[in-house]
């Protein structure tokens, strides 16, 4: 079954790479659906929180859309079994315990028959990413964008938590997924760039002090770094999103893949938009099945 999946992975990856140049050509006939089971896990960056339309089969607290990257991947591969248990605000604990009364542990969705698993996770552990950005925006507004108040107050706390707590938690999740689905390909997707790589800022839409942009970038780089490390050590496919540099929340509509905190298009700020979800799906399709 994995071999069948891989042939479809290759075809879908080619489609993702050539879509832009194929617009003017005739639409090819659809191939028959493949046999295979795909399970999507993860947090709001997997769930596509803030993007319409909502997934009415999901608990409303999960803020899941039917146009998240797992759905786009499932559509491209045309799997005949797709289970999406992604849920906004999930962290690694919620792979083992209920996130909400009607939201079961995410690992429950993975079985020995699963052929493909994707996930993005780790950003909510210890308040690492979104809560850090929120805290830094509060600090930035207090100083009217001057200095580096967030770095001054928090110091190395976040990067230390990522290294000492998030990394082993993500690694354990990946190990346990492989144990439950030993024949599956498991792919973990990195978090796309939130702030400009050149450490510039856009205070009116992302009110982070100029001196704290590099601080936020270092935190995100550290997070993606431990995710890649955990992937490498567990035989998991790491889906790099470094090509999202230049498509951060400070960029204009049509260029950015992540929406800003203020005046953005998503109902959930500082999260991937529809274009960002498509780019994450494309990256998954290019990386899996190798």
Edge-to-edge strands, sheet with 79-84: 79-84, 34-42, 116-120, 185-189, 237-239
Give the model confidence (pLDDT) of 249-269 as tens digits: 999 999 999 999 999 999 999
Give the model confidence (pLDDT) of 203-218 as tens digits: 999 999 999 999 999 9
For position 25, what pLDDT does the model report?
A: 33
pLDDT averaged over every residue in the chain: 90
Record the tokens describing residue 151, joined without a space: 């770095």
- Catalytic (active site) residue 139: no
Catalytic choice (37, 44, 46, 148): 44
Give one DSSP letter per residue of 212-260, joined into a string.
Answer: GHHHHHHHHHHHHHHHHHHHHHHTPEEE--GGGTT-STTSPTTT-SB--
Q: How far apart are CA 259 and CA 206, in angstroms?
A: 10
Going by their DSSP bridges, the two strands 237-239 and 185-189 should be labelled as parallel
Q: How far apart are CA 279 and CA 267, in angstroms?
A: 19
3 state SS for 141-190: HHCCCCCCHHHHHHCCHHHHHHHHHHHHHHHHHHHHHHHHCCCCEEEEEC
Domains located in the chain, CATH noted? 2-37+73-78+118-287 (3.40.50.1110)
pLDDT interval class at 4 (50, 70, 90): very low
Q: Which helix (H) or strand (E) holds 77?
A: helix 69-77
Give the model confidence (pLDDT) of 100-159 as tens digits: 999 999 999 999 999 999 999 999 999 888 889 999 999 999 999 999 999 999 999 999
- Catalytic (active site) residue 178: no
Give the model confidence (pLDDT) of 40-81 as tens digits: 999 999 999 999 999 999 999 999 999 999 999 999 999 989
Is pLDDT above 50 for 17? Answer: no
Catalytic choice (94, 178, 247, 271): 271
């Amino acid at each position: 079954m994995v071999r069948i999946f891989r042939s479809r992975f290759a075809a879908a990856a080619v489609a993702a790479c050539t879509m832009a140049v194929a617009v003017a050509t005739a639409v090819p006939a659809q191939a028959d659906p493949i046999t295979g089971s795909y399970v999507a896990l993860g947090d709001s960056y997997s769930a596509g929180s803030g993007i319409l339309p909502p997934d009415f089969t999901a608990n409303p607290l999960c803020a899941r859309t039917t146009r998240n990257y797992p759905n786009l991947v499932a559509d491209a591969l045309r799997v005949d079994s797709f289970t999406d248990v992604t849920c906004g605000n999930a962290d690694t604990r919620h792979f083992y315990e209920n996130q909400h009364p009607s939201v079961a542990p995410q690992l429950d969705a993975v079985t020995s028959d699963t052929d493909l698993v994707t996930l993005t996770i780790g950003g909510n552990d210890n308040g690492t990413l979104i809560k850090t950005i929120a805290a830094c925006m509060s600090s930035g507004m207090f100083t009217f964008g001057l200095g580096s108040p967030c770095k001054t107050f928090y110091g190395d706390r976040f990067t230390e938590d990522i290294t000492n707590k998030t990394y082993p938690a993500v690694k354990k999740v990946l190990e346990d997924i492989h144990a439950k689905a030993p024949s599956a390909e498991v792919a973990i997707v990195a978090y796309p760039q939130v702030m400009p790589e050149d450490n510039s800022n856009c205070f009116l839409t992302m009110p982070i002090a100029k001196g704290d942009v590099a601080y936020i970038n270092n935190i995100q780089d550290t997070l993606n770094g431990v995710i890649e490390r955990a992937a490498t050590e567990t035989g998991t496919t790491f889906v790099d999103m470094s090509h999202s540099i230049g498509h951060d929340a400070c960029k204009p509509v049509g260029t950015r893949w992540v929406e800003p905190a203020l005046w953005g298009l998503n109902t959930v700020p500082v999260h991937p938009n529809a274009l960002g979800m498509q780019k994450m799906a494309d990256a998954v399709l290019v990386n899996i099945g190798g």
